[in-house]
A and B are shown apart, each in its own frame.
Chain A
């Protein structure tokens, strides 16, 4: 029988749980009252999905502070590659063994995990501390069916990252503000600055700013409609098609597209890319920005005919429902998501906090990236937080790959994607 916490603790901590099924739990220890958190003991396994080289050391440092504050709680830190984490967690959660107590879940995963019963609801537990402080969009990602299943860790969005030096050489002092300017600037860089203008990352997520820009979206959740192949979405993807065809964007790599674009940018081979604040540290450590961090520019994604829009991303802390140490896990989440901790992480890594007060804390303000990303964040568009959210990307990725390889034009390609969505979303109309 798995280790569990006492029925009394379950009742106290989770009075809100609809079906608190205490049948499986066996009393292991007496939970300490919430008023004395330092007395809580236990072990918390945390799956961190952050960048193992650049970001992980800072999280490990924060964990040291946590264990100094709660000496009776042992934290087992595990860095799981982001790309594998979703499947790995699901396999472990489903089989009932090997799942971590706390997971750093991408915002798009939470609704799916919650709908499958893998996550512990956090309302009324110590994990959800001062919920009113959270920014609404990241907070929305942690909610499913009226309950809170995750606490936001960081928020992010895509911005236009540019090399000021290369843009200047091409005769542009300011980053492009529209898709038309983006194309022109990129072409100028190509002809005058001896570098490529724009590197595209052939990934569904990175296609969204173009779709949003022209007023499109993947889905209309309220109307239960699939809008990925609607005219505005097609117009957005046509912008990408044109960028590639005109040579404004370098011929995109399809495999390892992200790494190739990122490498080209930080080595000065390309002037502009779309990427998020998670790449700050990586970029600033690159050959061109290491000595001239001021050359690293961050701007909102360019606007299309409708607006400038980019997807809301980020990560949440979620607690596994089958955790043997729920109390310790809640305290861990509470500490990790606190404004102080967020400010510290923001200061060291330039990751954007999800709590308002964290932005005004000196530790966060010390990092110039936080201010730089404020404007791009204003263009963040909330994504559909539905259980199928995570499945929307694969069909679009395949379509984008075909488009980038010149195999399928925008319209028919998005038609294929819409058809795939119909298979995923039962009862939605086109």
Chain B
């Protein structure tokens, strides 16, 4: 539309200097976009491209060149193609970790959504002290994740933790919250649910408030039971919000580093390690394996991209504009 306007200008000797282009006329729009584009390219594009490149080499902390003061280390890393990926995919650990990571993600997101929706519905009705409840329920979200993780680690300490002290006081035996492989998994899921529910609750509360009241009133007049109203008005009305928050929640949970790393350190014996924490350990313990960690990162990214594409397509086939 812009080009048309410019093109109608008669080509004359005076017009030759300035090329009649959209960019020329709307240069300010481009100029205003430019900072964002440049920052995105620098902050996202470059590291991503560099990561992909490194994943195809055998670069480590020892083979990457650098000069520090009087010491000069030459670069000696080489291009190795896809061998990093082959090594990861064929390792026995990969499938075990992937299995637990998927379980962890599905359980956490299901609980986030279920509990978040329940709380959102409670808070969506008029009740006394509603704002106080909201503040309290949002609190876990306001505390930095690492602080929460540390607090939970202390609370769940087998011998000196508060949780076991309470259990013992109630005449029950203590539980090896963090020392038993199964309980450690339960513990990290509990901590992550505690951390993630507020976000779901807030997002779904917003969704609930966007559903027109009239629909409920009309349904009530027609004699619909609360359950039917929930199924046929609330759930469909929430779908646009739910689709997004579930996708976001899945991505976050899949990559939820601090909870696992700080609460159980992936233990005991590596049993609660998810892909990202395992990759971190592989890459950053001892002499850092940059190429290996980049390959892990690209692999995790690829898994999530595939998941997101499939999910979006599924939503779209159900006729939802996302």
Contacts and interface: CB of A to CB of B under 8 A. Distances in A.
A254 B179 contact: yes
Given A254-B179, A260-B158, A87 B284 contact: yes
Main secondary structure of the interface of B (DSSP, over half): loop
B158 A253 contact: yes
Contacts of B286: 112, 388, 390-391, 394, 424
A398 interface: yes
Nearest to A391: B286
B287 A20 contact: no
Interface string B49-76: 0000000000001100011111111000
A20 B70 contact: yes
Contacts of B269: 398-399, 401-402, 405, 407-408
Contacts of B71: 19, 21, 117-120, 321
A116 interface: yes
Contacts of B281: 394
Contacts of B66: 94, 96, 117
Given A19-B70, A255-B264, A260-B159, A116 B284 contact: no
Interface in B162-181: 176, 178-181
Interface in A224-267: 253-256, 260, 263-264
B140 interface: no
A424 B72 CA distance: 24
A251 to B, nearest CB: 8
Contacts of B160: 260, 263
Nearest to B273: A398
Range of interface residues on B (Cβ < 8 Å): 20 to 34
A321 B70 contact: yes
B268 interface: yes
Given A255-B268, A401-B269, A407-B181, A14 B287 contact: no
Contacts of A326: 69
B68 A93 contact: yes
B270 A21 contact: no
A238 to B, nearest CB: 18
B75 to A, nearest CB: 12
B214 interface: no
B73 A253 contact: no
Contacts of A394: 281, 285-286
Contacts of B284: 87
Contacts of B62: 115-116, 387
A391 B181 contact: no
Q: Which of B160, B181, B268, B287 has most A Cβ within 10 Å?
A: B268
A117 to B, nearest CB: 4
Nearest to A96: B68
A405 B68 contact: no
B153 interface: yes
Contacts of A173: none
A354 interface: no
A312 interface: no
B77 to A, nearest CB: 14
Contact of A391 (B72, B180, B287): B287
Contact of A117 (B73, B184, B287): B73
Nearest to A121: B70
Given A256-B153, A391-B287, A21 B70 contact: yes
Interface string A395-415: 000110110110110000000
A15 to B, nearest CB: 11
A254 B68 contact: no
A146 to B, nearest CB: 15
Nearest to A402: B269
Interface string B277-288: 000010011111
A381 interface: no
A121 B70 CA distance: 9
B231 to A, nearest CB: 43
B68 A253 contact: no
A115 B62 CA distance: 8
A90 B157 CA distance: 31
B61, B153, B281 interface centre (most CB from chain A within 10 Å): B61
A383 to B, nearest CB: 15
Interface of B: 61-62, 66-73, 153, 157-160, 176, 178-181, 184, 264-265, 267-270, 281, 284-288
14 contacts: A24-B67, A87-B284, A94-B66, A112-B286, A117-B72, A253-B158, A255-B178, A260-B159, A263-B159, A321-B68, A323-B69, A390-B286, A391-B285, A391-B286
User: What are the 7 tightest A-B residue pairs by CB atom distance, in nearest-first order?
Assistant: A391-B286, A402-B269, A321-B69, A117-B71, A255-B178, A254-B179, A401-B269
